Structure formats: C-alpha cells, structure tokens
C-alpha cells in the first residue's frame, strides 16, 4: 500500500495495470504446458526435422523430429542462428515466445534471442536482444517463456538498438549466457512472435498474490519487531489499573538512508532548506555521495569539495540524529585515484620504488581520513568495486593481499566499533547471476581468510527495467552471503526508469524483501531528489519537490506499515504490552490527570518499563492519603461517566462499584507507604467500615 505524505489516499499497484511494453527483461512467464499454435503467431521455426543454419563458439546441435538440442559442453558462451528471417514489419507490438525444455546438463541462468539488422553489404549495423531467465526451471519439463518486452523494445543489443528497423532484420540467433563458464544444454521446440501472448509479470513475484508476500510478512514480524512491556505504578509503588499508555515510535533501528550532497547540508542557502528538511525527516542514515572519496578529499575536484566542508556535513547529519557512512577509502581503479598515483600507473608498470610510494600514500590517506572522521561515521566502505577496479592489486606485488592490508589499516585508523565494508555493484542484478556473485563471495571469503577485519558486505543495487530481480532471488543471494557471518547492507539503491508505477512497485517489493531478511541491516538509496541525483529519473521527488509514486511507497512502508504508534490501556495489574518495530520510542502513561513520558529503546531482547505517575491510587481527593474522605468523593460521584471522574480508580471512564473496591484495597496507603496487596484483609474492611459509620454519625466534611 502506498501513502502520499499527509494528504494522498492509499494506492494499490496491480501488475495487470502496467503497460506491457515496459515490462522488464530477464523476467519471464513460465507455462508448464506448451500452447497450441495460433493464427496470431509469426513462426521463426518449429524445428520439425530442422535446426539452425549455423553454430559458433563450441555450440553444437542435434536435430530431432520435433525439436533441436543445442549444447555446449565447455561453457555457456556461444550461439546458433538462422540466416534468413521472416518479415517482422507490423509485429512491433508483439512478443517473442519460446517453447523449450531445459535438460539436465544445463547450468546457465539465461539465454538470449537476437534479431540482426544488416545493411545491403552484409555488415551488421545493429541488433536487438531479449533475454530469457531459465534459472530454477525443472530439467526435462517443457516450458513456454514470453519475452519481457515487445519487439519495439529490445532490452539490449548492438548499435542503436532502440531504433531497430524490423523491416531490415534478415537474421536471428540464440545466444548463450555471455561470459558464463557454466554449461548450456537446451532443447528448442518452437520459436514464434505472438501479438496476443499472455504478458509476463514485471519480475518474478510481482503478482499481488505471490506466495513470497506472506512469508515476508511473517519474517518481518519475527525479525523486525519485539515486545515492549509497560507497568504503570503510583507514588507508593502500587499498580495503576486502566492507565492510558501511548507507545510512540521516534526512529527505526533498521537503517533507512540515502546518499546526500554535502554542500546542500553544510551551507545556509535558503534554496537548500527543503533538501535539509526532507533529509532530516525521511532518513536515519546517510552517505556523503562524493566528498569523502580520495580525489575530492585532497582538493582535486575544486573548491566545492573541501575536507572541512565534508566534516561540516557530517556534523550536520549528527546534529539531526542521522548516522553517517563513509564512502570510500580506497577505490582501486586508476580513474578513482589521486593524480600522482594515476601518473605512476599510466605505463601499467610500477617500479619497486613506485610500489612503495603507492603503499605509503594509501596508508597515509587511510590514517588521515580515518582519524578526521573518527566518531563521525558508523561505517566505512573501505574498498569499492574490486571486480572491475583492480589496477592497484594488479600493479602491487602483493596482489589481492593489499586489500587485507587496507582493511587492517582502516581498523587502526577508525573509532572502535566502526563498520568496515567491502562494496560492489552488479551482484543483485540479473546479469550478476553466476560469475559476479561467485567472484564477490570468493573475494569476501579471501579477505576473511587473509586476516582482514572486514565486518560487512555492501550490495549496490543500481537497476534498470532490463535487470531487476524478484524478491525470492534476493533472499537466495542474502542467504548465501549470510554464511560468511558478516553484516549486510544495501548501500546504493536506485531504479532508473520513466515508468513511475513500476518504479514504485519495485521499490516497495525490494524494500519488503530486504526488511524481511534478518541478515540485512540498512537500505540506502543513492539519492532522493531529482536535482541531486546521478540518475534523475530514479529520484523519489521531482525538481519542484512534488512526490513521485516511489516516494509514496517509501513513506507508506517506513512511516506507516512499519511504524508503531499505539494507544492502549494497562490491565488490572497495571501492565500493557505492545509488539512494535525495533527502534527508539517515547512512552507516555496517563491517569488521574497525571502524565509521565519516558524514552525507551526496543531491540532484539524486547524492553520492560516501569512508569511512575505522580498520583496515589484511591486518593480521590488528592490529599496524599487513602482514607475515609476519599470514600465520600466516590459516594458523591457514583455513576459519573463524562465529568467528575476523580473517583474513577480503575480508569475505565465510569465511577462505579469497582472504584469503591479500588479505594478499599488501597485504604491507609500514602505516597511513602507500601500499598495493601490484593483484596484488603478483614481488618482493612473493618477500618473502612468504622470510618464510614463515624462519618455518617458525625456528618463529617472532608
């Protein structure tokens, strides 16, 4: 459910309402039965005693009477194609439909259909590609997959694939998984283009009734909530039955954050007031997007990026109750290093002397920035994107062991308890399946084996329509990395698309999957405002600060569905228990015109509070003692329900017999005495009765 802050009604997003041409690639719809051929299908091949015209890169084919088996026993990288193609004109709004059977030897997660546009000279000018997800399919069971987008919307390709001229397509082919070392073994039964194929969901699990949603709700209840118990007592220590209890959440324990631009926080320009206000209102953790990177830290990005400016921004965040993450100590690709190191790396051959200079520079930088930010940041991305930015490791003689050293130096330079993270991209996306995920896991494990004090794994999540994955696949990734025993964070999330409804739905589902997994601590978006975002279309707020559907989704989850604000009453024993989301709270107890508020932190083990109100139960005339005079107050107000409730001892809104029993049970109590326990002993009743008789005989006035 989505809620526009303060004003908008809730909005439900239904996958069936989205435009099919915008549905995401690498996401497919599987049918366990092969549909019959329809007149609305343009047949590429039914493979009845036929196969492909050619194969390449170790792909082989075995032609059968009704299908063709395509296999690669070495890896999944290759293909098979047909040199002539039907006329695709008029099929722009149609989908590719593939009937096939994954075989037992298949290990790839995806395959691709490519339509090739060629010039009259035979040279390929551009092509369009559509990816199909086969991960998790049962070997030997026939399936039918529909492309995630129509022929007018290739998800990738060669050249200007977005303007593929279908009338000029004269060749098509099947490609294996690019760069995969896994085996390819699939039997193709039929490939057609259909204009009335059932559209696939935007991603696995997008359906409103997808089973994972029930599991996510159960996990959130178990992993993100705990019991907060309150006992309300009076000045004598007696419980206050029926006391009103208000449990009001102030901040989440879980980190909901964003990347921020330091200059918008640190100066007094009124133009940035809304940016500051939204940052403070919506987030409890933030990452300085650029100012703590090595080059700007050393002044190479100009006067807008200074060390003092970065520290001022960190101070602003702290003053507003927002934890800060440091990004990044060592980004070991040449383009992300200071000028002097880039110069030494320019010939791709560091001398021993240059290697030592580089080691010294890195050590000095980590020590300097670690000391400058000690106590100002809760975690550091110590190293970043080592899969694609590894020039330093390649040039230093110690190789990857250098990353262990950097982690050790970071531990020495930062405040105790500071999180030390490795961070990388392309792990959660569809194209991260297989090689990327395996390599990242191995990299983190190697850090641990080498003695690095790494404490956390950072997952970037920069998505487009062509590479989003479903919640259950996210859980599989998190489950695997949880085996390493480290903290996990989503460090950089955005979904770059102009389809705002899909953007909102995916943000919501992604957040639910992340929040439900017990191993993930933080979810950090890489910006939230269109004018301060590296991908403006991915922002939650437009340039005029109007909120987008994705912003509504965020607000509804964080401050509504996952926010605890409960008003309840203490029971007869003075106790009230609320199951709330873990975080910081203000808890208020009220009774008899008195109120007291205390702070509380609700964490894994729950929390028990005792709140003492400035009153004495049964002291209906508020003179500091429970005595016969209080009986008169009760007697004179019996039956009151809207006013004159001083004698409402059980705080149920009515002065009745139960309140006389409260008075009787407390008879003789003062603010400095212990209350009578339970139902009063006969002696207490006798005292009360005598007092009543005396008062009746003497017409006492209290």
Question: Could you please report the per-residue DSSP string of 97-128?
Answer: EEEEEE-TT---SEEEEEEEEE-TTS-EEEEE
Question: 118: which 2 tokens?
Answer: 């060629």
Residue pair 379/418 in contact by the 8 Å Cβ criterion: yes
pLDDT digit string (tens) for 137-186? 899 999 999 998 899 989 888 988 889 999 999 999 999 998 788 899 99
Rounded to an integer, the average pLDDT of 424-430 is 95
pLDDT at 25 > cutoff 80: no
pLDDT digit string (tens) for 336-393? 999 999 999 999 999 999 999 999 999 999 999 999 999 999 999 999 999 999 999 9
**What confidence score (pLDDT) does residue 138 get?**
93
Question: 662: which 2 tokens?
Answer: 């409260």
Q: Which residues contact 239 (CB under 8 A, 6 or more apart)?
A: 231, 232, 233, 570, 573, 574, 575, 617
pLDDT at 678 > cutoff 70: no
- Percentage with pLDDT > 70 across the chain: 89
**What confidence score (pLDDT) does residue 198 get?**
79
Rounded to an integer, the average pLDDT of 402-414 is 98
Question: Could you please report the per-residue DSSP string of 607-663?
Answer: EEEEEE-SS-TT-TT-SSB-SHHHHHHHHHHTT-SSS--TT-TT-SSS-SHHHHHHH
3-class secondary-structure state, position 575: strand
Residues belonging to the chain? 702
Distances (CA, A) of 38 to 87, 246, 412, 436: 18, 63, 68, 40
- Residue 350 phi/psi, 5-degree rounding, is -70, 130
Question: Could you please report the per-residue DSSP string of 542-559?
Answer: -TT-PBPHHHHHHHHIII
Distances (CA, A) of 473 to 111, 216, 240, 254: 18, 13, 50, 22
Question: 299: which 2 tokens?
Answer: 């002044």
Rounded to an integer, the average pLDDT of 571-586 is 97
pLDDT at 646 > cutoff 80: yes
What are the percentages of helix, strand and coil residues in the chain, rounded to 5?
30, 25, 45
pLDDT at 410 > cutoff 90: yes
- Percentage with pLDDT > 90 across the chain: 81
CA-nearest of 206, 294, 63 to 508 is 206
3-class secondary-structure state, position 67: coil
pLDDT digit string (tens) for 489-532? 999 999 999 999 999 999 999 999 999 999 999 999 999 999 99
The more confidently predicted of residues 585 and 157 is 585
What letter does residue 529 receive in the DSSP assignment?
B
Neighbouring CB atoms inside 10 A of 61's CB total: 17
Question: Could you please report the per-residue DSSP string of 360-428?
Answer: HHHHHHHHHHHHHTTTT-SEEEEEE-TTT--HHHHHSTTTTHHHHHHHHHHHHHSPTT-EEEEEESSSS
pLDDT at 3 > cutoff 90: no
**What confidence score (pLDDT) does residue 196 get?**
86
CA-nearest of 174, 87, 194 to 129 is 174
d(Cα 41, Cα 197) in Å, to the nearest integer? 9
Band of residue 120 on the pLDDT scale cut at 50, 70, 90? low
**What confidence score (pLDDT) does residue 683 get?**
39
CA-nearest of 471, 487, 476, 369 to 422 is 487
Residue pair 336/294 in contact by the 8 Å Cβ criterion: yes
Q: Could you give the strand order of the β-sheet that contains 565-569, starting from the edge strand earlier in sequence?
A: 565-569, 244-252, 583-591, 594-602
Band of residue 119 on the pLDDT scale cut at 50, 70, 90? low
The rounded mean pLDDT for the chain is 89
Question: 678: which 2 tokens?
Answer: 């339970």
d(Cα 604, Cα 222) in Å, to the nearest integer? 10
Q: Which domains does the chain have, with CATH numbers?
A: 28-194 (2.60.120.430), 222-243+570-612 (2.60.40.10), 252-561 (3.20.20.80), 628-698 (no CATH)
């Amino acid at each position: 459910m989505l809620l526009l802050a303060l004003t908008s009604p809730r909005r439900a997003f239904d996958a069936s309402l989205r435009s099919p041409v915008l549905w995401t690639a690498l996401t497919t719809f599987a049918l366990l039965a092969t549909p019959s051929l329809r007149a609305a299908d343009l047949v590429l091949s039914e493979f009845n005693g036929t196969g492909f015209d050619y194969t390449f890169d170790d792909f082989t084919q075995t032609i059968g009477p009704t299908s063709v088996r395509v296999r690669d026993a070495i890896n999944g990288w290759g293909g098979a194609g047909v040199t002539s193609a039907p006329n695709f004109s008029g099929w722009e709004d149609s989908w590719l439909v593939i009937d096939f059977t994954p075989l037992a030897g298949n290990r790839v997660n995806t395959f691709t259909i490519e339509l090739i546009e060629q010039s009259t000279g035979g040279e390929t000018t551009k092509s369009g590609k559509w990816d199909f997800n086969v991960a998790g399919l049962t070997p030997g069971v026939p399936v039918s997959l529909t492309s995630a987008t129509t022929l007018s919307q290739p998800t990738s390709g060669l050249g200007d694939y977005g303007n593929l001229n279908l009338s000029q397509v004269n060749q098509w082919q099947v490609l294996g998984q690019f760069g995969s070392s896994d085996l390819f073994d699939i039997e193709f039964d039929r490939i057609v283009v259909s204009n009335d194929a059932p559209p696939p969901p935007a991603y696995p699990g997008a359906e409103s009734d997808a089973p994972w949603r029930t599991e996510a709700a159960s996990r959130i209840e178990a992993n993100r909530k705990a019991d907060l118990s309150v006992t309300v007592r009076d000045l004598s220590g007696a419980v206050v039955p029926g006391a009103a209890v208000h449990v009001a959440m102030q901040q989440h324990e879980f980190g909901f954050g964003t990347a921020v631009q330091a200059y918008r926080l640190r100066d007094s320009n009124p133009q940035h007031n809304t940016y500051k206000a939204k940052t403070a209102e919506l987030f409890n953790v933030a990452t300085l997007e650029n100012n703590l990177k090595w080059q700007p830290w050393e002044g190479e990005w100009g006067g807008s990026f200074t060390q003092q400016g970065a520290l001022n921004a960190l101070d602003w965040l702290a003053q507003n109750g927002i934890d800060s993450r440091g990004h990044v100590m060592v980004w070991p690709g040449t383009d992300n290093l200071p000028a002097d190191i880039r110069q030494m790396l320019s010939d791709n051959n560091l001398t021993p002397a240059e290697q030592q200079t580089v080691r010294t520079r890195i050590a000095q930088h980590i020590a300097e920035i670690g000391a400058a930010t000690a106590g100002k940041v809760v975690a550091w991305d110590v190293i970043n994107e080592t899969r694609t930015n590894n020039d330093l490791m390649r040039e230093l003689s110690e190789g990857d062991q250098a990353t262990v050293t950097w982690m050790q130096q970071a531990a020495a330079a930062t405040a105790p308890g500071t999180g030390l993270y490795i961070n990388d991209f392309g792990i959660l996306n569809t194209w991260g399946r297989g090689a990327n995920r395996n390599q990242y896991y191995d990299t983190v494990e190697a850090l641990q084996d080498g003695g690095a004090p790494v404490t956390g794994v950072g997952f970037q999540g920069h998505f487009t329509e062509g590479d989003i994955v479903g919640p259950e696949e996210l859980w599989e990734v998190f489950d695997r990395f949880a085996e390493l025993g480290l903290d996990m964070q989503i460090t950089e999330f955005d979904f770059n698309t102009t389809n705002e409804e899909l953007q909102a739905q995916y943000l919501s589902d992604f957040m639910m999957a992340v929040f439900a997994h017990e191993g993930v601590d933080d979810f950090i978006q890489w910006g939230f405002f269109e004018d301060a975002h590296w991908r403006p279309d991915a922002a939650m707020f437009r340039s005029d600060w109007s909120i987008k559907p994705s912003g509504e989704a965020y607000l509804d989850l964080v401050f509504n569905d996952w926010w605890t604000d409960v008003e309840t009453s203490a029971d007869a024993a003075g106790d009230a228990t609320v199951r709330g989301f873990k975080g910081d709270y203000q808890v208020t107890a009220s009774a008899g015109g008195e109120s007291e508020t205390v702070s509380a932190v609700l964490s894994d083990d729950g929390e028990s509070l005792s709140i003492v109100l400035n009153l004495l139960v049964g002291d209906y005339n508020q003179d500091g003692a429970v005595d016969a005079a209080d009986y008169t107050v009760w007697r004179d107000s019996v039956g009151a329900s809207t006013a004159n409730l001083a004698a409402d001892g059980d705080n149920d809104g009515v002065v009745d017999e139960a309140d006389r029993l409260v008075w009787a049970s407390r008879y003789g109590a003062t603010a400095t005495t212990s209350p009578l326990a339970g139902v009063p002993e006969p002696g207490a009743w006798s005292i009360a009765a005598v007092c009543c008789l005396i008062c009746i005989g003497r017409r006492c006035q209290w």
